[in-house]
Structure 1
Amino acid sequence: MLGLTLREEFRGKRLKGTTVDFKNQSGTGALDVSAAEFLSITYPSHDLLKTIEATQQGQSRPVVLLGSRGQGKSHLMAALFHLCHNSETGASWLSEWAEHLKNPQIGNLKLRNDCFVIAESLHLQRYKYLWDILFAIHPKGNYYEGKWSGMGEKKTDVPSYDLMMEMFTDQPTVLILDEFQTWYEGLTNTKQYPWRNWAFNFIQILSEIAQKNPEKLVLVVSVREGNSDAYQQIRRVNPVDVDFKGPYAKRDRQRLLLYRIFENRMQVPNGDIAKATAAHVSEYFRLSKIPPQEHEKRTEDFVESYPFAPHLLKLLDDQVLIATDAQETRDLIKILVDLFKTYDSKKTLITAADFSLTNEKSGVASLLDSVANQLHKDLREKALRNYEVVVEAVPNANTTISHAEEIISALWLRSLTVDQMAGAEPYELQIDITGDKPIDDNRFEVELANIVDNSFNIHQVGSRLVFKREENARSKLIAHAKNGKLFQNGEDIDHLAKEIRAVISGSEDVSAKHRVVVLKKKWQGDPWSEFDEKQQPKSWNDGKLPLVVVPDYPEKLEVILGKWLKDNMQENRNTLRFLLPQKGTGNVYYDRELLVLARAVFLAMKWKTTEKVYAELERSFRKDELIPKLKSRFDRFALLSEWNYAEPAKCQFEEAKHDAQGDKIPDAVDRLVREEVFIPEEFEEYVLKLAENSESVGKLLKDLKEPRPGGKPCIPWLGEIAVKERVIRICAEGQIALNLRNMEMLQAKPSEDPDDAWTRMKGKLGTGKHLDETIMLLPDAVSVSGGKTVVTDPVTGETNSVEVVDTDGTGSFIDTGSTTTGVTTTGSGGVPGNIFGGDDEVSTVSKKPCSAPPTSGLNLLGQVESWGIGPATNVNNVALKIGKMTGAQLQDLIKDLPDGVTFGLDLEKEEGN
């Protein structure tokens, strides 16, 4: 940093104290060292020059140094001692500074060289009474102490005015009393020990002598407060007040600091400083919106304060040290030295960002040592924890928020100020982290947003950001939500899936009709392991339409979904409708924004039981942020169109957008399937085909739940209720007749209006096993003549008739030949021709032989489906041919045979020779 070198006492690992002791046992006190040595670390501040001027010949007032601890009063008094005690060295020192500062008036100051100099720090309590100092140190002190003691009955409580005048006439004196107020206020003041009154009287005597006879006595004292009792008596003589608060105080203190800290600060050329800090200064002007007419003056401020930024010194001097009750200059030196030792050498200026929270050797430690307020110490721990949370929560923190520590450190320091000025504007933080290159505004905004969002002790107060001890509930929630380590058991995935399901199946109407299944992370390989048993496909027996939500849009939709159906759905493959996300949005569970919002809602639900504020945050995050994003996330659906078990990659799917959001999606998908995908003619054709073979409605439902084999287009599944309604409608139109469990025949009457027939028939199909006992017939196989229902077997052509009576004109017929209500029919779905036991032989059903050569089990299963054999198809005389197998394989095969079926076994056993 332009070759700056710390003074020797600051170079060690442990910083020596900067407190000025007049004398100490080690002989290193300010008065123990030589005048040249002490003056070499002394800057001629305005206050020091004012004190020298006030003590010149002809001055007629005492001097009082006013200021709180650590402002440099003791250093100034020690400097005055050396200047007067060794006037030749002092005069040389003034001449050098007059030349260096180009101020001849400094060299014209006249030092007192005719006085004996006494300097004492009263707080050390070396003397019981003030006059003891004079009697002990003054060259004529012993004589005048004896003279006062020998006055006998005339001896006064304190040495008299005349006695002191005589002693100071004998030897003019400069009396320097440091910590006068501290000493004075420690005196007792009782009737037995009126020591404070005595001190009060004696200081009055000294003050009057110094005022009226400045050539005999120069009195210099220091006090902390101008309204103290210690100051009142001196004040009566109108002393010269050096209050460290004049118009030059800040500038002088800054120069004093730099001169005190660095050996060669005054030797660094201003031009070099201006060039090194140009980038930072330029950004400072831009971000702070400094008008051009002030640029020159502000640039000089940067040169003057180098290597520290003027805004840092102003912050520390005007706000932080005041707010923390630090000892101003004394503590500021320690802080700045530690900062310089640990600063980032890549930066050209030291700013608030260099108060590293993570580096205990930085200026933070010195600052905290100076802080008397526990609140500010606690705030450092809060800020450090916030930094750790931010780094954990933000992905790729090293690059995404590379300035995180600097920003948080600067904000923490700026939050130590008084309430009205606490915290920082965002642009101030950007200035703090700016080095020799500008920082992109957009990048800084992103970094700051990440930090604020993940820090739970940063509060927004107007336009300012402030670190506070109390937690920002919203920021805390977000910070925890972004920490993936808190959700290692997948609670966040589960909750996001629940939120998606709630958004899509939110209303009661939707949840009553549709089963929304939101697949999770393992959706392709092992989807059902992430669901309870009651939620798995084998439990989907409530008639709801399954709407399966896929987390991400498959790159090869047919390949992925075809394989998924084959591997993960053993039955009812044709009932599924796949809800897909928008193309290009990626996997919903890897969408960090959605995942963080879901986590926030999840945590708020947990925390609201102890803190009510989180109940409102739960509502806010869910309603205002998460739900709006989820409602439009899934904008399309897919439906199986052609099935290929052997090569699932060749399956075909219908895909379309549904133009709905949230809980309107299931009904919108259902409407599109009914109106645009479902082809009524294909459905009717299939129903008529089954009716030709007198198949049951139950078989129709089972067949429709499975994809059609042989590459035939699938008939979309509309749900059991919709299928039954369409079967009734076909019946009402006269295309088929329905034999309801041999108890009732549904058939359109000649010339009957289809709507009337529909009204008469609807709701009579029943559910469950009743559907397996309800037979679909072609109208040609059923006729009504002379009160008899005649049913023709479609396979054999045989007929059977039963006399029936239409008792109510509704088309329901009663068998008059028996006491049992019903219809006697023949055919595969009928009953024996004589229900009373005359002819028990059931008509023959045609059987189609199917055969396949030996192949793998997977290929054999595909072949079975290609034959049109579904779950509801009956097969007879099944013989499984196995070329060769071991006894173990045979045993496994037998163990896996289904229950409730009888088996025969023929085999050839190999035996040895």
Structure 2
Amino acid sequence: MLGLSLRDEFKGRRLKGTAIELTNKNNTGATQVLASDFLRITYPSHDLLKAIEAIGPDQGRPVTLKGERGQGKSHLMGVLYHAFTDHSATGNWLNNWSHTLGDAKIGEIPLRGGMHVISESLHRQRYKFLWDLVFDNHPNGNYCRGKWEALGDKKPDVPSDEILLELFKHTPTALILDEFQTWYDGLTNTKQYPWRTWAFNFIQVLSEIAMEYPEYLVLVVSVRNGNTDAFQQIQRVNPIIVDFKGPSAKTDRLRLLLHRLFENRIQVDAAAIQELVEPHVNEYFRLKNIAPAEQERIRGEFIEAWPYAPHLMDLLEDQVLIATSAQGTRDLIRILADLFKHNGEKQPILTAADFRLDDEYSGITALLDSVANQHHAKLRDKALRNLEAVNDAIAGSGHKLPHLEEIIGALWLRSLAEINQAGADRDTLHVDVTRDQPVDDNAFQVELTSIVENSFNIHEDGNRFIFREEENPQAKLIASARNEKLFQNEEDRWHLAKEVRYVLEGGGDVELPHRVIVLPQAWKNNPWEKLDDSDAPANWGNRIPIVVLPESPANTEAALGEWLRDNLQINRNVVRFLLPRDGSSNLFLDRDLLILARCVYLAERWKQENPEYGRLQTKYQKELRDILKLRFDRFAIISNWNFQKPQSCRFSIESHKAEGAKIPEAVDKAIRENLFMPEDFDAFILAAAPNNEPISKLLRELREPRPGGEDCIPWLGETLVKERIVRLCARGEVAINLRGMEYLQAHDGEDEEAAFKRMRGKIGTGKHLEETHILLPQNVPATGGLTQPDPGHPMPPGGTVFPGQPTGEHGGLADPPQSGKPGESGAPGQPAPGSIFGGGGDFTQLSAPATSSLNLLGKIEQWGIGTGTQLRGLTLRVDQLTGAQLQELIRKLPDGMTYALDLEKEDGQ
């Protein structure tokens, strides 16, 4: 991008170490390479120039470099070494930068010469005693060591200032000690081995000599902080402290990084950079609400930090690397080099969104290698699984998340920051993914919401989102609910159907008069195959089925007619269809409803592990049920049936204006008040009465659509149908034969309501309905005295013989006699003509219709006939029987009595 080029050492597939050492075994340390080569990768920061000035001629104070690991102390010491040893290369370097930066003072910095330089990285622990380092590496060291050791028993614990001053006067020396604090803190300090105390005393001697005789000794040491005795001892002589914290430290550090990374960063035109990053910068101003007065300054920061965004550099330096205990500049160089190699040619500016979790070459590996806290490395694994969860959730849904990997990567990186700064708000992430053109606010909001909802380790903390190692129950629940792979056996659809049934039935334990059957997604063809056996038509019993359609068919009447013909063989008039609102998608294809159903299903399973899922189950269940309560606003029942052409069937489709569990009752009321025609029902019953029809047959016929194109009579349920039959009976329009044991009919002068209350509930259920018949009131047998039939007129089959009743013209029975006035023949209480008992005693005529022998015994008991009751004129009529049955009947007649026998025999038998 714009011709920017990494240095050769960063171009390889494997990044070389960026740590600067004074010496190493490969002879590539800062003091082992040519000064010109080392200075070529060095930027003249304010701290570096301050240190060069501090070791110059006429300077009389030790120099202390103070800073944590990786901040460039070793690099600065390498420059000081070359400033002592190669004036020419160092002078040329200063002059070049003086022209480049337009600062003449840089080229005017004086350099000190004539010094013998001793440099050592003390953390290598090659010297137990510091004086050994000095004596071993000084031209006059052996002489001075011998002079000290020659004192024998009078030899002090450390070389005296006199011996050391003699040493340095012989050859003025610059002593450069890197990692001094690390070495010092590792020394033993016991009564037997007081080595730290000796080091403390020796450094005091050195610092005092450097203070009093700067022409003989220049002392430069580096420490990590001021919390060590080593630093405190040097601090006593008021050293010059370079702490990398000056007002220009941040800018210098940025320039140092860019110069260290790129061969030609300083040559890239600022105007070209501004044009390249302007879309990103303008969106940054808008989203971050930057005041106009601040915009020019901040635009300059973007140009200064390019190819990296300044907010990325702040994030890495001030938050991530500090929070993870990384080694400052050296680790940051590795991270930035990897990031540029992977994305530098693709993006106009590099942001946190370029740390791609799914690409180890995007700077992630370098960053993780630098992270001392393994918690953050584990967090990457969590974030990766979240990335997979989001991909699984949107797979096949048609949704596109163009910035998915970038948002996940940016949020993960920002979650590594210190606790009070961890995570990012929506606008920050929006800035991260904005490059050469703006990203629509609404589209980004939708995308971010989808990611958060499908990621189970993203937590919301105020207005910030943050990755955490612990799972977010709500996010995990939603993310899992969106994962189609978890519901291969359609558990979500079964649970959604369960919720629909609960909403419509109310979820109570009370037996309801309705049964809700929620048809499956493929409801048109063989719907019973996938339903429970309890939902099959054979198991509906007397409960009214409310069949819930998952969708509203395009041609509702034709679709329902075909469905009834193909999927229901009996009870077609019983079904009530519940239809969803017009425009509703198939219940089981409505993704929003499925997600809610999945949330409820999973939360119910997981609440034993974490009570928080119990709260989420209640939350999402209420949300789901509130939607379902309003989804089904219409019902349909068959009004005209056509088996041959079911597409020509007509249905009554009505609005019930109810919600949830009130819908079945509202449907009942609408059918009773608006669709049920009492006169049609009454006509149907009255038409059946002359035929002495059993009630069971009438109920079966009412459960089916009426044939012949007649309009159907809506089914009200068995209880209401029987009550309406009883109501007709109470009005005197029909009578009811209760299994041959009792007749229900209105009494003369009896009030309808009183009759209804007397007869209500007597019809019975089940098999009793087979033996309970409807008949006309005039066909109920009358009561009176019993007489012998005329022997000259054989009794025809069928009908009841009344005592004294004459036969008709062709052998049939004449009309039964009416009860006469008192004293007349045949009147109740009067002896019939020809009675063998004359006028002795009163007799009452009793009669029972044709029925079983068991029912006749019941009648005898009902009439109060005991073993001593006197009877006369008994006529027993049997309509049809075989010769064998007749013989069996005669054999069982009691002895001591005479019997007459009249019958009709079939000719030819």
Asked if 2 retains the 8 angstrom alpha-carbon contact of 1:743 and 1:821, the reply is no
The answer to whether the Cα contact below 8 Å between 2:580 and 2:634 also exists between their aligned partners in 1 is yes
Q: Deviations over 1:430-462 (max 9, x none)?
A: 111111111111111111111111111111111
Contact 1:390–1:479 (CA<8 Å) still a contact in 2? yes
Alpha-carbon distance in structure 2 between the residues aligned to 1:650 and 1:329:
83
Q: Which residue of 2 aligns with 1:761?
A: 759
Q: Is the 8 A contact 1:54 1:61 kept in 2?
A: yes
1:813-862 Cα offsets, whole Å, 9 max, x none, are 9xx99999974279xxx99xx995435159xxxxxxxxxxxxxxxxxxxx
Structure 1 letter corresponding to 2:266: M
Specify the code of the residue in structure 1 equivalent to 2:411: L
The residue identity in structure 2 corresponding to 1:86 is: D
How many Å apart are 1:783 and its aligned residue? 7.6
Write the letter of the residue equivalent to 1:574.
N
Per-residue displacement from partner, 1:131-173 (whole Å, max 9, x unpaired)?
Answer: 2223332333344344444555664433322232233233222
Structure 2 equivalent of residue 824 of structure 1: 849
1:746 to 744, 747, 750: 744
User: Match of 1:251, as an amino acid?
Assistant: T
What is the SS of the residue equivalent to 1:687? helix
Equivalence for 2:660 = 662
> What's the CA shift string for 1:377-396, capped at 9, x where partnerless?
21111111111111111345
Question: Matches of residues 796-811 of structure 1 in structure 2 within 5 Å?
Answer: none
- 1:838 matched to 2:877? The reply is yes
Q: After the TM superposition, which residues 469-508 of structure 1 pair with which residues of structure 2 at under 5 Å, given as runs?
A: 469-506=469-506, 508=508
Residue 318 (structure 2) pairs with residue 318 (structure 1): yes
CA-CA distance at 1:786 after TM superposition: 6.6
1:399 is displaced (CA, Å) by 4.7
| Counterparts of 1:803 and 1:609, CA distance in 2 | 82
Aligned partner of 2:624 among 626, 631, 634:
626
CA contact (8 A) 1:782 1:792 kept: no
Q: Deviations over 1:195-234 (max 9, x none)?
A: 3222222211211121122222211100112120111211
| Alignment-derived partner of residue 903 in structure 1 | none
Task: Select between 741-750 and 391-400 the one with higher mean Cα deviation.
Answer: 391-400
Distance of 1:63 and 1:804 partners within structure 2: 144
Give the total of aligned pairs: 823
CA contact 1:787–1:803 (8 Å) conserved in 2: no
> CA separation in 2, counterparts of 1:352 and 1:145?
57
Matched to 1:378, the amino acid is K
Match of 2:95 in 1: 95
Task: Say whether residues 1:705 and 2:730 are aligned partners.
Answer: no
2:563 corresponding residue in structure 1: 564
**Counterpart position of 1:602:** 601
Q: For the residues of structure 2 that align with 1:820 and 1:595, how far apart are their CA atoms?
A: 75
Amino acid at match of 1:390: V
Match of 1:113 in 2: 113
When normalised by structure 2's length, the TM-score is 0.86
The offset of 1:746, in angstroms, is 2.2
- CA 763–219 in structure 1, closer or farther in 2 if over 3 Å, else same: same
SS in 1 for 2:747: coil
Partner of 2:448: 448
- CA–CA distance in structure 2, aligned partners of residues 259 and 692 of structure 1: 113
The answer to whether the aligner puts 1:227 opposite 2:251 as a matched pair is: no
What is the rounded CA distance, in whole Å, between the counterparts of 1:501 and 1:257 in structure 2?
Answer: 67
Instruction: Output one character per residue of 1:274-331: Cα deviation in whole Å (capped at 9) or x when no partner.
Output: 1111111111111111111000011011111111111111011111111111111111
- In 2, distance between residues paired with 1:118 and 1:544? 103
1:308 aligns with 2:333: no
Q: 1:269 to 1:797 in 2, by over 3 A?
A: farther
1:239-254 alignment runs, 5 A limit: 239-254=239-254
Greater CA drift, 504-513 or 607-616: 504-513
1:335-346 correspondence to structure 2 within 5 Å: 335-343=335-343, 345-346=345-346
> Per-residue deviation at 1:375?
1.6
Distance 1:346 1:338 in 2: 14
* Aligned with residue 729 of structure 2, among 731, 754, 757: 731
Secondary structure of 2:336's counterpart equals helix
1:109-508 matches, within 5 Å, as 109-151=109-151, 155-343=155-343, 345-396=345-396, 399-506=399-506, 508=508
Alignment of 1:487-636 (within 5 A): 487-506=487-506, 508=508, 511-541=511-541, 543-623=542-622, 625-636=623-634
- CA gap 1:391/1:804 in 2 versus in 1, 3 angstroms: farther
The range that moved more, 209-218 or 778-787, is: 778-787
Q: Distance in 1 between matches of 2:32 and 2:53?
A: 25
Q: Distance in 2 between matches of 1:835 and 1:775?
A: 26
1:510-547 deviation line (CA, Å, top 9, x unaligned):
85111111111232112111123233111122x11110
Query: What's the CA shift for 1:747?
Result: 2.3
Bigger mean CA offset, 12-21 vs 139-148: 139-148
Q: Partner of 1:679 in structure 2?
A: 677
- SS of the aligned residue for 2:459 comes to strand
Query: Relative to structure 1, is the Cα distance of residues 333 and 802 closer, same or farther in structure 2, using a 3 angstrom cutoff?
Result: farther
Say which is worse superposed, 31-40 or 455-464, in terms of deviation: 455-464
Contact conserved, 2:783 with 2:847, CA < 8 A, in 1?
no
| Structure 2 unaligned spans of 5+ | 787-797, 802-810, 821-827, 832-841, 857-872, 882-909
Q: Which residue type is aligned with residue 73 of structure 2?
A: K
Is the alpha carbon distance of 1:781 and 1:653 closer, same or farther for their aligned partners in structure 2, counting shifts above 3 Å? same
Structure 2 counterpart of 1:731, one-letter code: C
Instruction: State the alpha-carbon separation in 1 of the partners of residues 269 and 843 from structure 2.
Output: 127
Which residue identity lines up with residue 225 of structure 1 in the other structure?
N
Q: TM-score, with normalisation over the residues of structure 1?
A: 0.86
Report if aligned partners of 1:380, 1:412 keep a CA contact under 8 Å in 2: yes
Change (3 A) 1:94 1:818: farther
Say if 1:768 and 1:188 are closer, same or farther in 2 by CA, change over 3 A: closer
1:532 aligned partner, one-letter code:
D
Q: Distance in 1 between matches of 2:153 and 2:780?
A: 154
Q: Which residue of 1 aligns with 2:770?
A: 772
Mapped partners of 2:519, 2:511: distance in 1: 17
SS at match of 2:111: coil
Paired AA for residue 533 in structure 1: D
Give me the whole-angstrom Cα distance separating, in 1, the residues matched to 2:483 and 2:127.
64
Counterpart contact for 2:785–2:846, Cα < 8 Å: no
State the Cα distance separating 1:485 from its structure 2 match: 0.9
How many Å apart are 1:797 and its aligned residue? 10
After superposition, the C-alpha distances for 1:680-721 in whole angstroms (9 at most, x for unaligned) are 111112112212333222111100101111222111110001
Contact 1:65–1:223 under 8 Å retained in 2? yes
Say if 1:221 and 1:280 are closer, same or farther in 2 by CA, change over 3 A. Answer: same
CA distance in structure 2 between the partners assigned to 1:380 and 1:804 by the alignment: 106
C-alpha distance in 2, partners of 1:241/1:733? 117
Distance 1:802 1:527, change over 3 A: farther
Q: For residues 416 and 8 of structure 1, do their structure 2 counterparts lie closer, same or farther at Cα, with a shift above 3 Å needed?
A: same
User: What is the CA-CA distance between 1:666 and the residue it aligns to?
Assistant: 0.4
Q: Aligned partners of 1:496 and 1:511: how far apart in 2?
A: 22
Deviations 1:588-630 (A, max 9, x none): 111111111111111121112232222222222212x111011
SS state at 2:424 partner:
coil
Q: 1:442 to 1:124 in 2, by over 3 A?
A: same
Q: Is the 8 A contact 2:656 2:667 kept in 1?
A: yes
Contact kept? 2:549, 2:577, Cα under 8 Å: yes
Point out the structure with max Rg over C-alpha.
2
* 1:777-788 pair list within 5 angstroms: 777-782=775-780
| Structure 1: runs of 5 or more not aligned | 806-812, 843-913
One-letter code aligned to 2:628? L
Distance in 1 separating the partners of 2:303 and 2:9: 25
CA deviation after TM superposition for structure 1 residue 801, in Å: 5.1
For residue 693 of structure 1, what is the aligned residue in structure 2? 691
Give the counterpart letter for 1:292 in structure 2: P
SS of residue paired to 1:597 = helix
Q: Which runs of 4+ in 1 moved over 6 A?
A: 785-788, 790-793, 796-800, 802-805, 816-822
